[in-house]
């Protein structure tokens, strides 16, 4: 699924459930010590998948601890992203000499809860979403917008080490392809000697799920 959206050099591991052999590594337990069972299983499975991706890259499987904002702390030389939703978990990793950052997201293909769109949409996105709904009603475009912005944020944060609001990105979807573009409405981090001003991502809908992914090349913002 997510693997279909990734360029060469990115290792992806995914699961539609929680493997019985998934285990936490030392140090990971603290983040979910008081978590409910569902949260604990999600946390455990995505780290299990991340370790599978590490091995696919030729690296040792190590613990993936959590930062102050619950972001994954990757081992030196690795960039990556993880996602989970009902019925799906995935991790995508690459070496940092190949890619500067990765962001992935998966959501159930269902309408957004009432009131969420106004909180996440840049004003110019709203009429474009209406046009997309009219022309392609089989896609829940508002949910895709949410998912794509989550992927953009996950790619942004490791580079900028700071927040990026939902309304600080303006997305445009090409309904004739699986490509979206994200224009950043704030000063971006420097990648390959230039400020990052936009990102390009890919998306698709399959079997009740929406998938979004952004990869930022090491040599081209």
The separation between the first and the last C-alpha atoms of the chain, rounded to the nearest angstrom, is 25
Based on the fold, state whether residues 95 and 168 are members of the same structural domain.
no
**Whole-number Å distance between alpha carbons of 37 and 111:** 26
Please choose, from the candidates 57, 42, 44, 43, the residue with its C-alpha nearest in 3D space to the C-alpha of residue 6.
57
- The reported pLDDT for the residue numbered 219 is 79
Grouped pLDDT means (10 residues each) for the chain, 221 residues: 93 96 93 91 97 98 92 96 96 96 98 94 94 96 98 96 92 93 92 91 96 90 52
Q: How is residue 121 written in tokens?
A: 């949409």
Quote the domain boundaries for residue 79. Answer: 2-104
Most distant CA pair in the chain, distance: 51
Based on the fold, state whether residues 123 and 192 are members of the same structural domain.
yes
pTM: 0.95
- CA angle, 92 then 96 then 100, to 5°: 80
C-alpha distances in angstroms, 49 versus 6, 46, 161?
Answer: 16, 5, 24
- The reported pLDDT for the residue numbered 14 is 97
Based on the fold, state whether residues 113 and 213 are members of the same structural domain.
yes
Based on the fold, state whether residues 100 and 23 are members of the same structural domain.
yes
Count how many domains the chain has: 2
Judge contact between 154 and 103, C-beta under 8 A.
yes
- The reported pLDDT for the residue numbered 221 is 52
**Whole-number Å distance between alpha carbons of 2 and 84:** 12
**Whole-number Å distance between alpha carbons of 78 and 93:** 7
Based on the fold, state whether residues 136 and 201 are members of the same structural domain.
yes
Judge contact between 97 and 78, C-beta under 8 A.
no
Any idea what the CATH number is for the domain that residue 135 is in? 3.90.470
- The reported pLDDT for the residue numbered 90 is 98
Based on the fold, state whether residues 23 and 116 are members of the same structural domain.
no
């Amino acid at each position: 699924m997510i693997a279909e959206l990734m360029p060469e050099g990115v290792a992806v591991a995914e699961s539609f459930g929680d493997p019985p052999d998934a285990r936490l590594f030392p140090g990971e337990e603290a983040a979910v010590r008081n978590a409910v069972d569902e949260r604990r299983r999600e946390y455990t499975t995505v780290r299990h998948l991340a370790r599978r991706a590490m091995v696919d890259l030729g690296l040792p499987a190590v613990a993936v601890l959590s930062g102050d904002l619950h972001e994954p702390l990757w081992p030196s030389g690795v960039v990556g992203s993880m996602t989970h939703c009902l019925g799906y978990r995935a991790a995508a990793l690459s070496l940092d000499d190949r890619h500067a950052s990765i962001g992935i997201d998966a959501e159930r293909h269902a309408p957004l809860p009432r009131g969420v769109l106004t909180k996440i949409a840049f004003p110019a996105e709203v009429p474009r979403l209406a046009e997309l709904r009219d022309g392609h009603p089989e896609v829940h475009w508002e949910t895709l917008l949410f998912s794509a912005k989550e992927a953009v944020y996950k790619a942004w944060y490791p580079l900028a080490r700071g927040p990026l609001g939902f309304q600080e990105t303006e997305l445009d979807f090409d309904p004739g392809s699986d490509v979206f573009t994200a224009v950043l409405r704030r000063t971006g981090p420097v990648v390959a000697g230039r400020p990052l001003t936009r990102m390009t991502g890919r998306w698709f809908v399959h079997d009740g799920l929406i998938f979004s992914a952004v990869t930022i090349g090491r040599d081209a913002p």
